[in-house]
Amino acid sequence: MDKIVVRGGNKLEGEVNISSAKNSVLPIIAASILSGDKCVIDNAPMLEDVNVIGEILKSISAKVDINRDNNKIIIDTSSIANCEPDSELVKKMRASFLLMGPMMSRFGSFKISLPGGCNIGTRPIDLHLKGFTALGAKVTIGHGYVKGVADRLIGNNIYLDFPSVGATENLMMAAVMAEGETTIENAAAEPEIEDLGKFLNEIGANVIGAGTDTVRIIGVKKLKGTTHRPIYDRIEAGTFMASAAITRSKIKINGVIEEHLKPIIAKLTEMGVDIKIEGESAIVDATKELKPIDIKTMPYPGFPTDMQAQIMAILCSVKGTSVITETIFENRFMHVSEMKRLGCNIKIDGRSAVIEGVDNLTGTQVKATDLRAGAALILCGLIAEGCTEVTDIYHVDRGYVKIEDKFKNLGADIKRTN
Ligand code: UD1
């Protein structure tokens, strides 16, 4: 199994290019099912999760061509023959649940194994299923599967108890061909949802307000193919901003949409990092002394839970006391015990982590417990004395394109071994 070995101590310099967003491309690939036609995704991130969802689509007879030479994905969903994707593949990735909405909308049914994915809490899908029921579907769970059936879907008003990203996306996709109008209130407003709305409209849907807390979907009869370029990955950009901060370096990050990064930029700025935006690039200067801060993760436009572990890595190196409160997932401090093995001083108190900055970290073997945890451990490795070996790196490969190459280009002493 691959691991990443980092020898800490190098300052970073130069430029890094950000890939397209994993959390945009996965729902968009799922939404291509709706088109029943050929969809092309340009500048697609070549990630393990993208391979997995591609294989899942192939398991229902879609044609999927992932071209690594030109970062293009071509999907033809006209040939889909069944609505029961391969269970072993589905269990590999939680985002497989995003196939439910499109399959129900286009074929009137789905049967899908209860999905797996990152080990960060129980992550129920009740909001998705309640929404499908509101649209007229009959949903049952049993024997490890979720089944949905609907002779026809009828638009309705759906109020989400919590602004779930996945539920908002699934319900948008389920509603595009429903009869009449659907309104999703208390919808999640993440930029990736706006991107999905854009894609859906490109294939002929009528979606209004995606990326705000109220999304209206007016049902249409037929959809078609398109070519789409997803937005840049704000979490990857945030992770590289964090790498400049933890190493007290100055780097340039290309592929930054300022609006999407506001919550991250605000907190790094409060910490004392100087961030200048020039078009779609950010110059991140963390060469001045940094200050401890308090952070609470929140739905967008709040501070993203997907940056919680990386910001914690920085704060472990900042003199003074910082507090991070995780409000989105109930089990997202798995990285803390691994960070402590590197010398970080962190105490967990319920949903909060109290971080006391230390003068230095010392490298050892640590385990990536999930995708962002793995990224955060690599960040710690960049400043730890000696070698830090991050094992179970397949988690990181799910969501970062060639992370070691990008850090190597910035001057880090980092390599992948097995
Ligand atoms: C998406 C992102 C993930 C990110 C998360 C929160 C993708 C592929 N993944 O995951 O990277 O960390 O948003 O920003 O886009 N919940 C329920 N019932 C439901 C659905 C969710 O209780 O039916 C709860 C979850 O358990 C969790 C919270 O809502 O505590 C947030 O989950 P959600 O927004 O749905 O996250 P995902 O879509 O799974």
For residue 194, the one-letter residue type is E
For residue 274, the model assigns a pLDDT of 98
pLDDT tens-place string over residues 55-105: 999 999 999 999 999 999 999 999 998 889 999 999 988 899 999 999 999
Task: Please check whether residue 300 is in contact with residue 263, taking contact to mean a CB–CB distance below 8 angstroms.
Answer: yes
pLDDT tens-place string over residues 263-315: 999 999 999 999 999 999 999 999 999 999 999 999 999 999 999 999 999 99
On the CB side of 218, how many CA atoms lie within 13 Å of its CA? 5
For residue 103, the model assigns a pLDDT of 97
For residue 120, the model assigns a pLDDT of 46
For residue 121, the model assigns a pLDDT of 52
Q: What is the CA radius of gyration of the chain?
A: 21
pLDDT tens-place string over residues 231-251: 999 999 999 999 999 999 999
Ligand 1, atom 33, lies closest to the CA of 164
Ligand 1, atom 24, lies closest to the CA of 123
pLDDT tens-place string over residues 163-215: 999 999 999 999 999 999 999 999 999 999 999 999 999 999 999 999 999 99
Active site residue 83: no
| Band of pLDDT at residue 118, cut at 50, 70 and 90 | very low
For residue 122, the model assigns a pLDDT of 57
For residue 410, the model assigns a pLDDT of 98
Core vs surface per residue 88-106: b (16+ CB within 10 A) or e: ebbebbbbbbbbbbbbbbb
For residue 347, the model assigns a pLDDT of 98
| Selected catalytic residue, list 39, 83, 118, 316 | 118
User: What is the DSSP code string of 38-95?
Assistant: EEEETT----HHHHHHHHHHHTTT-EEEEETTTTEEEEE-TT---S---HHHHHT-GG
For residue 114, the model assigns a pLDDT of 82
Which of 29, 120, 165, 334 should be mutated for ligand 1, with most atoms under 8 A from CB? 165
pTM of the shown model? 0.97
State both tokens at 88. 């072993």
User: Which residues line the pocket of ligand 1, CB cutoff 6 A?
Assistant: 23, 26, 94-95, 121, 123-128, 162, 164-167, 188, 192, 304-306, 328-329
Instruction: State the first-to-last Cα distance of the chain, in angstroms, to the nearest integer.
Output: 5
Q: How far does the centroid of ligand 1 lie from the alpha carbon of residue 406, in Å?
A: 28
Report helix, strand or coil for 140. Answer: strand
Ligand 1, atom 3, lies closest to the CA of 306
pLDDT of 115 strictly over 80? no
pLDDT tens-place string over residues 14-64: 999 999 999 999 999 999 999 999 999 999 999 999 999 999 999 999 999
